[in-house]
């Protein structure tokens, strides 16, 4: 199988898959000659083809993960291990500016869906349908789109007045529905993302949106603005696993995925503004510790290309996982040598500072000031989200806030000891 790879609106190369399902990616000579944007920091521009060990992880990471991938494969009538087939079917609108298409087929995300605005009831029906059929992949001629991650998302177009399904344009926003397992998950993520923004972090824009379920019950979903989409078109991005040629199943450090040292080194080496992005990254790690986001793995940090060199992308998927007792407590990436918050100590935090490349005195000044801002931001965001939390969701904001206050006290002591 051969797939055309388009970056923006320019054909940049060809992805080839042999009979043993080994991937090879090669830039077009004309693309290299014009010194255009590279697909990845792991695949700089060159004439020679990139082998499977580099090409496969990058393209595989474009697909949804876990159960979502299985559901989509079932809808499409293909094996979940058929990565080339899934990419061919879903590659029209993926994260960033990439489009994949079978040779001779237009690389777009064209869908036959009507352009009717979605009211609350229509939105509810689609959210319920997408829970069973992610990205509505079961519909004949449905959208050719794929978004990485393990959580359900519905890509939409929001023009500021109405929400619609993607038609002939890339999606501009994502809608995340409630989880059947985790109470108030949209409100939880809104609180954390809103607090991060109030604390001065660079984050994707979020809002809560109401809908009506099929039985008439009121529901709440999270709307997230896609930072890789602008009026001028798509903006290229890649996550840290793609940048390091690590497959999605190894996104956690304990499974062979990136750790803090690799994360900071990747940003330092490739960012167009490394000093600024390292400070931003340092604050994000501490913010995740504050809110109890134990799931900040390699796919939850990305590089965004506004020029030939990338910057650290806005933060996304900021959720307090520790408010859910059934979820594990291990960090996705160790902090020093600690794998859990309870195991954090002065030595581990000092080691974390070394991994970030930040001098202890500067780290102390920077993070103490930020921690104060972040705690006040969480308090404000908790107040903002309370009107959206009814019934069994009502306790979530106060529970999360109480947890943050306890963690803030611990973090202040650890940071104060930095010299």
Q: Catalytic one among 93, 277, 295, 317?
A: 295
Separation in Å, CA 405 to CA 13, 144, 292, 321, 398: 51, 44, 11, 16, 11
Res 131: pLDDT? 67
Asked if residue 140 has pLDDT above 50, the reply is: no
User: Is residue 295 annotated as a catalytic residue, yes or no?
Assistant: yes
Per-residue pLDDT of 64-91, as tens digits, reads 888 888 888 887 888 888 899 999 988 8
With bands split at pLDDT 50, 70 and 90, how would you rate the model's confidence at 356? very high
Res 169: pLDDT? 72
Is pLDDT larger for residue 255 or for residue 167? 255
**Section 311-340 average pLDDT:** 95
Average pLDDT, the chain: 89
**Per the structure block, which two tokens stand in for 339?**
């794998």
Res 117: pLDDT? 83
Asked if residue 145 has pLDDT above 70, the reply is: no
**Section 139-148 average pLDDT:** 43
Asked if residue 137 has pLDDT above 60, the reply is: no
Per-residue pLDDT of 23-51, as tens digits, reads 999 999 999 999 889 999 999 999 999 99
Res 103: pLDDT? 74
Compute φ and ψ for 65, nearest 5 degrees: -110, 170
Per-residue pLDDT of 362-411, as tens digits, reads 999 999 999 999 999 999 999 999 999 999 999 999 999 999 999 999 99
Asked if residue 96 has pLDDT above 70, the reply is: yes
Res 409: pLDDT? 98
Task: Return the domain boundaries, the chain.
Answer: 2-102, 120-134+145-225
Per-residue pLDDT of 204-240, as tens digits, reads 999 999 998 877 788 999 999 999 988 768 899 999 9
Residues 6 or more apart whose Cβ sits within 8 Å of residue 302:
237, 238, 239, 240, 312, 313, 316
């Amino acid at each position: 199988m051969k797939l055309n790879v388009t970056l923006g609106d320019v054909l940049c190369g060809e992805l080839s898959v042999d009979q043993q399902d080994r991937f090879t990616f090669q830039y077009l000579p004309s693309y290299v000659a014009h010194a255009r944007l590279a697909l990845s920091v792991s695949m700089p521009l060159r004439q020679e083809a990139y082998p499977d060990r580099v090409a496969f992880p990058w393209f595989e990471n474009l697909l949804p993960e876990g159960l979502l991938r299985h559901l989509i494969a079932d809808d499409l009538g293909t094996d979940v291990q058929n990565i080339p087939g899934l990419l061919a079917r879903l590659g029209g609108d993926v994260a960033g500016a990439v489009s994949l298409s079978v040779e001779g087929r237009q690389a777009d995300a064209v869908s036959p869906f009507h352009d009717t605005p979605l009211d609350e009831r229509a939105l509810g029906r689609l959210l319920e349908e997408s829970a069973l059929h992610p990205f509505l992949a079961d519909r004949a001629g449905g959208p050719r789109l794929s978004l990485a991650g393990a959580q359900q998302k519905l890509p939409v177009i929001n023009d500021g007045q109405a929400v619609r399904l993607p038609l002939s344009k890339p999606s501009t926003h994502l809608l995340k529905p409630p989880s059947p397992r985790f109470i108030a998950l949209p409100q939880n993520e809104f609180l954390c993302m809103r607090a991060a923004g109030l604390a001065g972090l660079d984050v994707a824009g979020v809002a809560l949106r109401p809908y009506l379920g099929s039985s008439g019950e009121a529901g709440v979903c999270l709307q997230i603005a896609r930072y890789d989409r602008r009026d001028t078109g798509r903006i290229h991005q890649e996550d840290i696993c793609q940048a390091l040629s690590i497959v999605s199943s190894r996104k956690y450090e304990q499974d062979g995925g990136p750790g803090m040292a690799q994360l900071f080194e990747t940003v330092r080496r490739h960012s167009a503004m490394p000093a600024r992005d390292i400070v931003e990254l340092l604050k994000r790690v501490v913010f995740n510790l504050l809110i109890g986001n134990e799931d900040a793995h390699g796919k939850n940090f990305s590089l965004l290309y506004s020029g030939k060199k990338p910057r650290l992308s806005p933060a996304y998927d900021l959720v307090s996982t520790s408010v859910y007792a059934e979820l594990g407590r291990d960090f996705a990436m160790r902090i020093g040598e600690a794998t859990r918050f309870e195991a954090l100590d002065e030595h581990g935090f000092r080691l974390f500072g070394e991994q970030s490349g930040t001098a202890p005195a500067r780290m102390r000044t920077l993070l103490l000031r930020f921690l104060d801002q972040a705690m006040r931001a969480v308090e404000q965001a908790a107040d903002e989200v309370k009107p959206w939390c009814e019934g069994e969701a009502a306790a979530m904001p106060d529970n999360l806030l109480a947890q943050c206050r306890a963690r803030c006290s611990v973090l202040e002591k650890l940071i104060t000891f930095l010299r």
